[in-house]
Amino acid sequence: METRVDCEYIRGLLADFSEDNLLGRAARRARDHVAACEACADELKTFEATADLVREKGLREPPVGLWNAVYNRITDPARAPSVARPAAGLRLRLRIGAAIAALSLVILFGLSYVRRPQPPSVANAVAAEYVEGHAVGSRDGLFADRFSLTSVAALAEAEQRENGRL
Amino acid sequence: MSGGRVVEYVDVDLVRRTKTGDVEAFEQLFNRYQKRVYNIVYGMIGNENDAAELAQDVFVRVFDSIATLRAEEAFFTWVRTVAINVCRDHVRRRVPFRVESLDEKMSYDGEDIIREIADPAVGPERLSEQKETERAVHRAIDSLSGEHRTVVVLHHLEGMDVQDIAKALGCPTGTVKSRLARAREELRRKLAGYVES
Ligand SMILES: [Zn+2]
């Protein structure tokens, strides 16, 4: 026989019972009571029916024109993308930094080449001969010509290696 | 082939096209998911103007970062995470006290802004029964605190399980479960006249 005290106690647990939040003894007691008490079983059904009603009627229609607003934003040529990217000033500084670093590497490489002259590869003999000849003809531009030769030779060798792999 | 697989297949194709800058493909993705995104955002924010603005932000962010999405078949799960994060950022930045409408009385319970929605002047006799029930459900959801409304929308409307909600919101599963129970209690009370026992 279920008592009124039991019913009051169980009804205080029904919200948690309906969400499956009760454990151990409390869960057992609620389950047993609801199985035996029609009034509390009916009360439990209202918790379930509430969730059903929310699922059935809870969705709202999005506002009209949402796509137009999104479209205007994603196709606006002047806009900055919303995802995190370096700011314009930072991007410019990064680019300048990268250019300086690349130039430094090339100059260092060029200097070491001047200090320890090495014959260019056979494949670049024609270019080398031209540049060497030109360098002799214009002594002031020797460094510039060495610099060019180094770059040309490095690029050509890289290309050859790439072709060799293919 | 199950319905879910068809959805994934269509999504993957549209996602790949969007990655190439195809705005029409993105429009199709938008049409498929705008209602779900809007409802997540509305549920977490609780007012129409901000929800419309933030739903836009979600789709713009999705468009801008779609190239980073590897699991193309899980497109909507990713979109949902973006939506939840956009809303959480917004809530963190939000000033707690703000008058949104002269019709709505605002109160503050220490954690959340609680909106006490005035009953509409139009009675049930002028609205169809269906519409009236829908409005009552919306009013009841609106009247919940932000925390309770969020879990109700993610669980009951979005179908997310408790673990996924806890992960998305960065709180223990016990907290989500307890919020769901308290919210259901409140909704049941407010919708008593609409629920058949
Ligand atoms: Zn009972």
Higher-confidence position of B182 and A103 = B182
Total number of domains constituting chain B: 2
Put simply, the answer to whether B192 touches A66 (Cβ < 8 Å) is: no
- Tell me, what's the pLDDT at A145? 40
Bridge partner list, B115: B106
Q: What percent of chain B has pLDDT over 90?
A: 73
Buried b / exposed e across B117-150, counting CB within 10 Å, b at 16+? beeeeeeeeeeeeeebbbbbbbbbbbbbbbbbbb
Q: Is the Cβ–Cβ distance between B171 and B124 less than 8 Å?
A: no
SS3 state of residue A28: helix
Nearest beta carbon to residue B137 from set A46, A58, A69 = A58
- Return the CATH number at B175: 1.10.10.10
**Residue B118 pLDDT more than 70?**
no
Which residues of A, range 64-83, sit inside 8 Å of B by Cβ? 66-67, 69-71, 73-75, 81-83
In a domain, B101, yes or no: no
- Return the CATH number at B19: 1.10.1740.10
Q: Is the Cβ–Cβ distance between B172 and A20 less than 8 Å?
A: no
Instruction: Please name the residue of chain A whose CA is at the shortest distance from the CA of residue B157.
Output: A55
Instruction: Please name the residue of chain A whose CA is at the shortest distance from the CA of residue B32.
Output: A67
SS3 state of residue B80: helix
In a domain, B3, yes or no: no
In a domain, B179, yes or no: yes
Same domain, yes or no: B19 and B89: yes
**Residue A40 pLDDT more than 90?**
yes
**Residue A88 pLDDT more than 70?**
no
Choose the final residue of a domain: B93, B116, B132.
B93
**Helix (H) or strand (E) segment spanning residue A86:** none
In a domain, B84, yes or no: yes
Q: Is the Cβ–Cβ distance between A154 and A113 less than 8 Å?
A: no
Same domain, yes or no: B89 and B111: no
Nearest beta carbon to residue A49 from set B134, B178, B195 = B195
Nearest beta carbon to residue A66 from set B39, B56, B184 = B56
Cα of B41 vs centre of ligand 1, distance in Å, is: 39
Same domain, yes or no: B88 and B149: no
SS3 state of residue B135: helix
In a domain, B144, yes or no: yes
- Tell me, what's the pLDDT at A80? 75
Residue A46, chain B, CB below 8 Å: the answer is yes
How many Cβ pairs closer than 8 A exist between chain A and B?
A: 120
* pLDDT tens readout for residues A104-135: 666 665 555 555 544 444 444 444 443 443 44
Domain that holds residue B57: 9-93
pTM of the model: 0.67
Q: Hey, of B156, B162, B175, B182, which one would you mutate to test binding to chain A, going by the most A CBs within 10 A of its CB?
A: B156
Residue type, A157: E
Give the span between the Cα atoms of A74 and A10, in whole angstroms.
Answer: 55
Residue type, B99: V
* A83: chain B residues, CB-CB within 8 Å: 61, 64-65, 68
Nearest beta carbon to residue A46 from set B63, B182, B195 = B195
User: ipTM above 0.90?
Assistant: no
Same domain, yes or no: B112 and B71: no
In a domain, B131, yes or no: yes
Same domain, yes or no: B134 and B176: yes
Which residues of B, range 90-129, sit inside 8 Å of A by Cβ? none
Cα of B133 vs centre of ligand 1, distance in Å, is: 29
Same domain, yes or no: B58 and B119: no
**Residue B6 pLDDT more than 80?**
no
In a domain, B196, yes or no: no
